[in-house]
Chains A and B, each alone.
Chain A
Amino acid sequence: MEKSKSKFVGVRITDEQASILSRLQKDSRLSKTEILIKGLTFLDEFYSLGLDRKPLSDELGALEKEAFHYAAELRRVRKREEAISEMVQELHNIDEIVDKYHCDKSALIQILLEIQAKTYWLPKHTLMWVSERLNVPMSQIRQITTFYKAFHLKPRGKHLVRVCLGTACHVRGGPRILEHTERALGIKASETTEDMKFTLESVNCLGCCALGPVIVVDGDYHGRISSSQVEKILSSYT
């Protein structure tokens, strides 16, 4: 089969599929993205009726694959229709944010930040969707999400533990607090515990240097702590 140059959500599609898509667009007066969301919703209903998967199109397949991957990433046993319906909801949320910024490519970082504020991390399907909506290649989105520290491409635990390693905390023993926290949780900085309860991060200055060394759990500041207090603080979060 001859390779087509058309792409949809980062997936190469055949000329035939591209023509079906354009016809669909013309007939239903829906945008490409609306069709895809509709398709995904339909897929969800399809499953809930107990029907088996029939190949719809490559792009739906790609998104569906992401749904499974997403469910697996969450490390939760989930039915696939649940995962899909959650994804559809998320894609709708992304649309709202993207529309707020009038599909402006230069707002890419702001859009990603805003999406993450809602979902706490950026699953691949959200990135694919942003790429589709803004017409920015996935490679560029990957570049940005891996360059900036604020973006998380892995799911986050229920509680976020941040240990400050700013200079002021460093001279007051911040590194020892971090080591102790790592030992107490059994993970290294920027990892998440197996039970998805804690994500540990080290940060370079939270700007409350008077309280150093500082550890922040879900926005609660614990200042002037010594390493022997770490366990007690962590145990108060369940």
Chain B
Amino acid sequence: MTKLESSSDLEKLRKQIVSKRDPKRLCITVCSGTGCQASGCEKVSAAFQEELKNQKLSDKVEVRRTGCHGFCEKGPIVILHPEEICYLQVKPKDASEVVSQTLKEGKIIDRLLYTDPTTGKRIAHESDIPFYKNQKRLILDNNRKIDPKNIDDYIALNGYSALAKALSGISPEQVLEEVKKANLRGRGGAGFPAGRKWETTRNAPGEIKYVIVNCDEGDPGAYMDRSLMEGNPHLVIEGLIIGAYAIGSHEGFIYVRQEYPLAVENTELSIKQAEEYGLLGKNILGSGFDFKITIHRGAGAFVSGESSALMSAIEGKVGEPRPKYVHSSVKGVWDRPSNLNNVETWATVPFIINNGADWFTSIGTEGSKGTKIFSLVGKVSNTGLVEVSMGMTLRDIIEKIGGGIPNGKKFKAVQTGGPSGGCIPEKLLDFPVDFDELSKAGSMMGSGGMIVMDEDTCMVDTAKYFANFLADESCGKCVPCREGLKQICRKLGAISNGKGTEDDIKDLEDLAEVLRDASLCSLGQTAANPVLSTIRHFRDEYEAHIRGACPAKVCKSLVTYYIDPEKCLACGLCLKNCSVGAISGKKGIIHIIDQEKCIKCDTCFDVCPEKFNAVTKISGEPVPKAVPQGTEIKKKKR
């Protein structure tokens, strides 16, 4: 690779790459994000390569592994270019059919297309699928087009043009002004204006300044940062270099969780490639600006995602937060001014520089501009990563993009903002996604996890889940968080075991207040949100637990398993699968659960065939008396 000496060199290179590529060339792209890898995409791309070799097409057709497409529910996703035919849930054994039918004969295989669940219509192009049609894919869009391991793919799609624009002719102050004007708010959770943060670091005293990418995505159920870092690392790197230029920093860190090995691998490779082209290092594009990036792998601590904790982890110390009398943008890593932003925030910067702040502010709401990526997961038909304009309502996201709740169940709540956020009930679903509006609903934007819950989810159990998670992840440095969370867990445990009292709810609210006001960092300050929001919107469920019933039939202590003698056909499935031998019965004889032995593992409920539905869960009602041992089943006409 030759070093690029100027912006025109980059343009020349871009033209050269594009001219070499025939847009009409046949190409098979296989999504290789972690979701699709879990669904076996590696085997699929290997099968395609093998098949092309067998059919002697290897030199005519290219197989490319791309970043995450977002529609993880239907992975592995395969796209055939140039027609862009989209096949979903492709298996290795489908490869030969796809090559011989679609590639050679131009025939579309209906079975592999997306089927609209309402109309039953088959859809051949990704952009026409409702999941994608209702999104505004700005930042995620290139993920599906490029091979993250190949910098040329990124450059071909106008990559690093924003950097070239910034370095050749725009002053750092102007870049900063543009970002401030765009009102870009931090995508990591709190929504602090990025431009103002940059300005603080820029104006802070000290020659050496750092810029940091926070990819310590710890929120369970959120994985957009990983998909960007894995699927389009150069976009984040480009944003980081532009930010460093505006701030006057010459050294940057990318903090990635070690649980994201693919993200680490792709980022390392991208940095190397960018260095080889002279897009990183000394005198970038002949501008005289120097910048280098180091990757720091996180070692697994949720609290390390907090800015001051992350910086102390970069120093090689324990990732514990510190009081912020002085902001880390003034005194951060090694007490030097350090500007930290989330992956998505950095990835938005090149778009703002290329298209201008006015364009950016035309997207979104009054207070929140641009787009936001959410990971729409849980009890929703189309699980995946979705990117929408700020201001779209939660209802539209869940129903139009997510396809609603599967299996005809009823929606109960959507949890946003991870462990710091809250649960939003049905009546508030018309709230728009916007930093300020979500706070009003008692939740927060957070990093963008959106976990949908249906009637089978217990809200007390959910609150308990988050409280336990946070108690486990609390670093223990400050008393309110360490001890307060422990007490919250204890109270919630008692309620979910049916041993709670009305006073416990009051106590939970009091504890929550102390946590919010007295904790050292935002982990503790926001830790009570899941508890408070569930009490606020689902108080009836708490009260039901106190009376001894779990309405969603989740809390073990309050649930009894019972076989309906009217429905049991003595198939023996539950009996065979019961690991503690609590079920008695035999062929023709109604099965009975021995409540003394039952450990409530849910297996019998799980294996009882849907057409019988004989195993039921009972909560808060008396359990009917079991039929005498040896009662024969009623012969039913089927």
Assembly CA distance A157 to B629 (angstroms): 45
Kindly state whether residue B369 has any CB partner on chain A within 8 Å: no
Assembly CA distance A62 to B606 (angstroms): 55
Q: Which residues between 535 and 563 of chain B lie within 8 Å of chain A, taking CB atoms? A: none
Residues B378 and A228 in contact, CB atoms below 8 Å apart: no
Residues A214 and B38 in contact, CB atoms below 8 Å apart: yes
- B contact residues around A112 at 8 Å (CB): 299
Choice from A110, A148, A168 contacting B378 with Cβ under 8 Å? A168
Assembly CA distance A176 to B462 (angstroms): 14
With contacts A147-B319, A208-B35 known, is A172 near B299, CB below 8 A?
no
Residues B220 and A148 in contact, CB atoms below 8 Å apart: no
- A contact residues around B418 at 8 Å (CB): 167
Residues B319 and A223 in contact, CB atoms below 8 Å apart: no
- B interface bracket (residues with beta carbon within 8 Å of A): 35 or more
Kindly state whether residue B449 has any CB partner on chain A within 8 Å: yes
Assembly CA distance A106 to B318 (angstroms): 11
Residues A167 and B300 in contact, CB atoms below 8 Å apart: no
- A contact residues around B35 at 8 Å (CB): 207-211
Residues A223 and B39 in contact, CB atoms below 8 Å apart: yes
Kindly state whether residue A61 has any CB partner on chain B within 8 Å: no
- B contact residues around A204 at 8 Å (CB): 218, 220, 302, 469
Among listed B6-14, B165-173, B309-317, interface-contacting one: B309-317
Q: Which residues between 148 and 205 of chain A lie within 8 Å of chain B, taking CB atoms? A: 148-151, 165-168, 170-173, 176, 179-180, 183, 203-205
How would residues 206 to 229 of chain A score, 1 for a CB under 8 Å from any chain B CB and 0 otherwise? Answer: 111111101000000101001110
Kindly state whether residue B384 has any CB partner on chain A within 8 Å: yes
Assembly CA distance A227 to B223 (angstroms): 25
- A contact residues around B316 at 8 Å (CB): 104-110
- A contact residues around B218 at 8 Å (CB): 204
Choice from B300, B302, B451 contacting A168 with Cβ under 8 Å? B451
Kindly state whether residue B422 has any CB partner on chain A within 8 Å: no
Choice from B34, B39, B296, B475 contacting A207 with Cβ under 8 Å? B34
With contacts A166-B221, A208-B38, A209-B378 known, is A227 near B603, CB below 8 A?
yes
Assembly CA distance A126 to B247 (angstroms): 41
Kindly state whether residue B601 has any CB partner on chain A within 8 Å: yes
Assembly CA distance A221 to B449 (angstroms): 22
Kindly state whether residue B595 has any CB partner on chain A within 8 Å: no
Kindly state whether residue A144 has any CB partner on chain B within 8 Å: yes
Main secondary structure of the interface of A (DSSP, over half): helix
Choice from A147, A168, A227, A228 contacting B221 with Cβ under 8 Å? A168
Choice from A143, A147, A166, A171 contacting B301 with Cβ under 8 Å? A147
A97 to B: closest C-beta gap in Å: 13
Assembly CA distance A209 to B220 (angstroms): 9
B120 to A: closest C-beta gap in Å: 22
Assembly CA distance A161 to B605 (angstroms): 25
Q: Which residues between 422 and 440 of chain B lie within 8 Å of chain A, taking CB atoms? A: none
Choose among A108, A203, A208 the residue with the greatest number of B CB atoms under 10 Å from its CB: A208
Choose among B38, B222, B375, B379 the residue with the greatest number of A CB atoms under 10 Å from its CB: B38
- A contact residues around B383 at 8 Å (CB): 168, 209-210
- A contact residues around B299 at 8 Å (CB): 109, 112-113, 144, 148-151
Residues B377 and A168 in contact, CB atoms below 8 Å apart: yes
Assembly CA distance A39 to B38 (angstroms): 48
Choose among A104, A105, A109, A176 the residue with the greatest number of B CB atoms under 10 Å from its CB: A109
Q: Residue on A with the closest CB to B452?
A: A171
Kindly state whether residue B297 has any CB partner on chain A within 8 Å: yes
How would residues 208 to 233 of chain B score, 1 for a CB under 8 Å from any chain A CB and 0 otherwise? Answer: 00000000001111110010000000
- A contact residues around B601 at 8 Å (CB): 176, 179-180, 183, 227
Assembly CA distance A176 to B559 (angstroms): 14
Assembly CA distance A109 to B318 (angstroms): 9
- A contact residues around B296 at 8 Å (CB): 109-110
Residues A205 and B223 in contact, CB atoms below 8 Å apart: yes
Assembly CA distance A211 to B258 (angstroms): 21
- B contact residues around A148 at 8 Å (CB): 298-301, 304, 318-319
Residues B226 and A167 in contact, CB atoms below 8 Å apart: no
Choose among B258, B315, B319, B375 the residue with the greatest number of A CB atoms under 10 Å from its CB: B258
Assembly CA distance A207 to B219 (angstroms): 10
Q: Which residues between 359 and 376 of chain B lie within 8 Å of chain A, taking CB atoms? A: 375
B531 to A: closest C-beta gap in Å: 15
Assembly CA distance A150 to B301 (angstroms): 8
Q: Which residues between 601 and 620 of chain B lie within 8 Å of chain A, taking CB atoms? A: 601-603, 606-607
How would residues 397 to 424 of chain B score, 1 for a CB under 8 Å from any chain A CB and 0 otherwise? Answer: 0000000000000000001001000000
Not counting A166-B220, A204-B469, a sample of 9 additional A-B residue pairs whose C-beta atoms are within 8 angstroms of each other reads: A109-B316, A113-B297, A147-B319, A171-B453, A204-B302, A205-B222, A208-B34, A209-B378, A210-B384
A-B complex: 6 closest residue pairs judged by Cβ atoms: A149-B300, A148-B299, A207-B223, A166-B220, A209-B377, A221-B38
For this complex, 20 residue pairs linking A to B, each with C-beta atoms less than 8 Å apart, are: A107-B316, A109-B299, A112-B299, A147-B319, A165-B220, A167-B418, A168-B220, A170-B220, A171-B378, A171-B451, A171-B453, A183-B601, A205-B221, A206-B34, A207-B226, A208-B34, A209-B377, A209-B378, A211-B35, A211-B38
